[in-house]
Structure 1
Amino acid sequence: MHRLLFTLVAVLLSFSARAEDSGIASLFVQADRDGTLVLSSLRTGETFIHNDARAQRRFSPASTFKIFNTLIALKAKAITGADDRFTWDGQQHALLDWNRDQTIASAFKVSCVWCYQTLARRVGAAPYREAIRQAAYGELSEPFALTEFWLDGSLRISAIEQVDFIKQVVRRTLPFSTQAYETLRDIMVVEQTPAWTLRAKTGWSTRTSPSIGWYLGYVETHDDTWVFATNFDLPDAADLPLRQSLTRAALQAKGVLE
């Protein structure tokens, strides 16, 4: 009887920790978006979720994979630090910010695909395969194209798995060096105030219909770290800023940001 009671209490606590959050849900309704947002405390494990079913669905990570890709490339010595340079070959890209030499810091900021494809060629398939397995980073289908797998749907991950991955990154439980973690930590900074620091990466998966927008990262406050993953259908490029603004509104609604 005691064991049954303990099990019931555990189930109820688990449910309350991951119950649908009405405040976040209303933001998605106002934005007219079909999507999900997962927000979880690193300290307590308290978790707020909008659309739990969608939070468990896997999608291509698109450029949010640059977080993991940076760590893998540093471990493989494909780059040595944030100031390593990539020489632009003169090929014109639709995004003007890509049409110049880059460092890993600038490549991360402008989401330079050709830069990270250059890294992938240096790293090779085996280290990616092993790192993805070790981190339980979604699912990687075989065979996969070395310079496309995080873009073409070969690699897929859910919002819940993304949050679990970022928690491993923040806790530094994955087999990467202190220097690798510190480099990533530096280049991920989006905004800092005396009260908090936001580190994050956008993503836009365009090889599905509809396209999927991502925003992934974490907020460090004085007494906690809040990890978040947002994805939603994003068929129109004009709505790309909604990835950040919708997530920020949710962070404000839960008191993580002012």
Structure 2
Amino acid sequence: MKKGYSALMVLLIIALICTGCSSSPDNPGESSPSFTNAEISPPKQTTESGQNITDRKEPLPSVSPEPQQKVLDLKAYFNGINGCAVFFRPTRNEYLVYNESLCNQPSSPCSTFKIVSSLIGLQEGEIVPGNSLPWSGEKYWNDAWNKDINFQEAFQTSCVWYFREIINRVGKEATEEALQKLEYGNSDISDWEGRLNTNNSNRDLTGFWLESSLKISPRQQVDVLARIFQGESFFAEEHTKTVKDVMKIETGDTDITLYGKTGMGKIDGKCVDAWFVGFFEIEGEAIYFAVRLDDPENKTVTSTVAKEIAMDIIFNEQWND
């Protein structure tokens, strides 16, 4: 009995020791793990490549409906000239096209490129409105170019030597990067000096944008213009406004405000590209357009004619339907 009693006491002591070692929720000196107090972070979303979405520098692409397209019969405005017209209305996500195949055909932008080169020059600090670039003293065919010239004068007289100098100062790398970001046609500046242009051998008056390596279609023109002037590009708002101001065209007392730039290119003395591109505002809506003429055998074709055709369409068609 004594041995049995001793064994019982030993078991009792062991039980008491074990109980004391276990923690109690009523004991303020100790605590047990609690999932309710733990900070649980949600799993990171990743792309297919495994890159964290929060680590991406560029925004994820948004899904938007495909734009609609309507074919217009604008033949009467062209008076027998082979040409095309495309209009883009962002508010309706809608293209209006005449001569669709030509609207999708890339060609040299010619002086319409001055819209973009102006913005690049402003963005890079090479164009300072009000400041002039010094004239070299060389006599050019356009008397308006034969002087020191500022940005506004250069744009409105389409002074090639001024923009040739600006692009040279910006440089190849920054120019190509800007064109690729804008998705400007083929973004090809490989013929930097414009040696493919057989119509002119004066390197002050040639460049990759003048019947050379850079190509863009009329439809791509309106896409680029919409990205820029809808505020969807990388250009600063103040620079976009500066270029918009010099693009403004006086049209008299109308409810339409017009902005645009002409462009023309020749090969073997024949006009192969005649452009007028830009946008107009009517009742708060901006509508982007490009008119291009492609009729080398027609001696009446010029960029002025392209501008006249575009303005006839803009001021005679109904845009409020």
Q: TM-score range by the shorter chain?
A: 0.7 to 0.9
Partner in structure 2 of residue 57 of structure 1: 105
C-alpha separation in 2, matches of 1:170 and 1:141: 23
Identity of aligned residues (%): 26
| Aligned positions of 1:56-135 closer than 5 A | 56-81=104-129, 83-135=130-182
Change (3 A) 1:57 1:215: same
| Aligned positions of 1:17-56 closer than 5 A | 17-22=68-73, 24-28=74-78, 31-56=79-104
Deviations 1:174-203 (A, max 9, x none): 111122112111111112546221110000
Q: Does 1:179 align with 2:238?
A: yes
Partner in structure 2 of residue 7 of structure 1: none
* Residue 267 of structure 2, aligned match among 184, 195, 207: 207
> Which has the higher relative contact order, 1 or 2, with Cα contacts under 8 A spaced 6 or more apart?
1
Asked whether the 8 Å contact 2:86–2:103 carries over to 1, the reply is yes
Change (3 A) 1:44 1:109: same
What secondary structure sits across from 1:200 in the alignment? strand
AA aligned opposite 2:71: E
What secondary structure sits across from 2:108 in the alignment? coil
Change (3 A) 1:248 1:145: same
Change (3 A) 1:182 1:141: closer
C-alpha separation in 2, matches of 1:210 and 1:110: 19
Change (3 A) 1:174 1:54: same
C-alpha separation in 2, matches of 1:182 and 1:77: 15
C-alpha separation in 1, matches of 2:147 and 2:318: 40
Deviations 1:21-60 (A, max 9, x none): 11x12222xx221111001213112321111111000000
AA aligned opposite 1:247: A
C-alpha separation in 2, matches of 1:108 and 1:60: 18
* Residue 153 of structure 1, aligned match among 189, 192, 212: 212
Alpha-carbon shift at residue 204 of structure 1 (Å):
0.2
Asked whether the 8 Å contact 1:36–1:55 carries over to 2, the reply is yes
Number of residue pairs matched? 240
* Residue 310 of structure 2, aligned match among 235, 244, 247: 247
What secondary structure sits across from 1:43 in the alignment? coil
C-alpha separation in 2, matches of 1:256 and 1:159: 20
TM-score by length of 2: 0.70
What secondary structure sits across from 2:278 in the alignment? strand
C-alpha separation in 2, matches of 1:142 and 1:250: 33
Partner in structure 1 of residue 53 of structure 2: none
What secondary structure sits across from 2:208 in the alignment? coil
Alpha-carbon shift at residue 141 of structure 1 (Å):
3.2
TM-score by length of 1: 0.86
C-alpha separation in 1, matches of 2:172 and 2:318: 42
What secondary structure sits across from 1:156 in the alignment? coil
C-alpha separation in 2, matches of 1:201 and 1:150: 14
Alpha-carbon shift at residue 207 of structure 1 (Å):
3.5
C-alpha separation in 2, matches of 1:138 and 1:26: 29
Higher-helix-fraction structure: 1
C-alpha separation in 2, matches of 1:75 and 1:219: 24
Output the aligned Cα RMSD: 2.2
What secondary structure sits across from 1:19 in the alignment? strand
